[in-house]
Amino acid sequence: DAKTTQPPSMDCAEGRAANLPCNHSTISGNEYVYWYRQIHSQGPQYIIHGLKNNETNEMASLIITEDRKSSTLILPHATLRDTAVYYCIVINDYKLSFGAGTTVTVRA
């Protein structure tokens, strides 16, 4: 699976959009980009995924660059409950390979 690179941490103001970048320059054509988050030590929570096109759901939007070498997860209106570790994962087989992720702290 392609490796991903994320900033270790970022802060966001409550009510503002949070933009979380991820680099996956070695991604291949059939590999999906998945985003999960983990609040404290709870089970990882699925957020969104995509292959080539931008995607949006009730939680977030995913913007994938045309060359697919990077993506951005957008939380449109961050709340305090969005404070978590966010993982960007590229997958083409059975397993999810979690890195260290980005620790996002939403501040009031």
**Which member of 23, 32, 59, 103 binds other proteins (CB under 8 A)?**
32
The answer to whether 53 contacts other proteins (rule: CB under 8 A) is no
- Cβ neighbourhood burial of 94 (10 Å; 0-12, 13-18, 19+): exposed
Closest CA to 97 of 20, 19, 27, 9: 27
Q: Which is nearer to other proteins, 5 or 15 (CB)?
A: 5
Smallest distance from the beta carbon of 83 to other proteins, in angstroms? 18
Does 103 bind other proteins (CB under 8 A)? Our answer is no
Q: What is the chain's Cα-based Rg?
A: 13
Four-residue CA torsion sign, 60, 14, 100, 21: positive
Is residue 39 involved in binding other proteins (CB under 8 A)? no
Please tell me whether residue 28 binds other proteins under the rule CB under 8 A.
no
Task: Return residues touching other proteins (CB under 8 A).
Answer: 32, 34, 38, 41-46, 49, 87, 91-100
